[in-house]
């Protein structure tokens, strides 16, 4: 099995729901990017979501590593009608639904968007495809808060609610490691 190093893309400075909206990452902290690059295995294969903030972050840490094509399966949650709205606007607009979305994740979805379970299935399939393409080498997956937590939940056999309690900062590394029969979780939200 392939070791997966999840990297959350660079900061976007967004103050609203940001799912499939294609906003750029601020990659001006070149020292942080250099530390991240140095921390990650040099023989790893890199893949990213196809959203600009993940693609450019992956490009910034690629170095001499091999690169797989961008995969839309690694995208952030599709927040549907909530994308671009401030959290308070969503709470005012859809108070019960927005509360259930965070407090009882699973099949609850924003209007026109995706549920936790849908994202977990999509991300799991994307990681399985990528792992098969690495030839057993480590995989660096540059993606988003929701994608990382969805895989963390599946790998750690924790509930979605428990996974949402983890902090995943921009330019952080979260490791999911093979343990012989499945997965175990290594570092979470490590800032090199």
Q: Which residues are catalytic?
A: 9, 76
What is residue 73's DSSP assignment? Answer: G
Joined tokens for residue 68: 């797989």
Give strand pairing partners of 45.
Answer: 66, 139
| Contact call for residues 50 and 141 (beta carbons, < 8 A) | no
Length of the chain: 192
| Numbers of helices and strands, H then E, in the chain | 7, 6
Round to whole Å and give the CA distance between 76 and 72.
9
Round to whole Å and give the CA distance between 77 and 62.
25
| Contact call for residues 130 and 142 (beta carbons, < 8 A) | no
SS3 category, 142: strand
């Amino acid at each position: 099995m392939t070791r997966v190093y999840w990297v959350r893309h660079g900061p976007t400075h967004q103050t609203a729901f940001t799912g499939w909206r294609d906003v750029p990452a601020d990659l001006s902290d070149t020292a942080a990017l250099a530390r991240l690059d140095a921390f990650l295995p040099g023989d790893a294969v890199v893949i990213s979501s196809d959203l600009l903030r993940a693609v450019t972050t992956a490009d910034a840490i690629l170095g001499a590593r091999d690169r797989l094509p961008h995969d839309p399966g690694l995208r952030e949650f599709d927040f549907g009608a909530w994308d671009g709205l401030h959290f308070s606007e969503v709470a005012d607009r859809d108070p019960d639904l927005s509360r259930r979305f965070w407090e009882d994740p699973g099949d609850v979805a924003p209007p026109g968007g995706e549920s936790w379970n849908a994202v977990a299935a999509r991300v799991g399939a994307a990681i399985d495809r990528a792992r098969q393409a690495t030839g057993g080498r480590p995989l660096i997956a540059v993606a988003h808060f929701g994608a990382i937590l969805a895989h963390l939940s599946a790998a750690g056999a924790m509930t979605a609610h428990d996974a949402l309690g983890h902090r995943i900062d921009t330019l952080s590394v979260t490791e999911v490691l093979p343990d012989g029969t499945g997965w175990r979780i290594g570092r979470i939200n490590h800032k090199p």
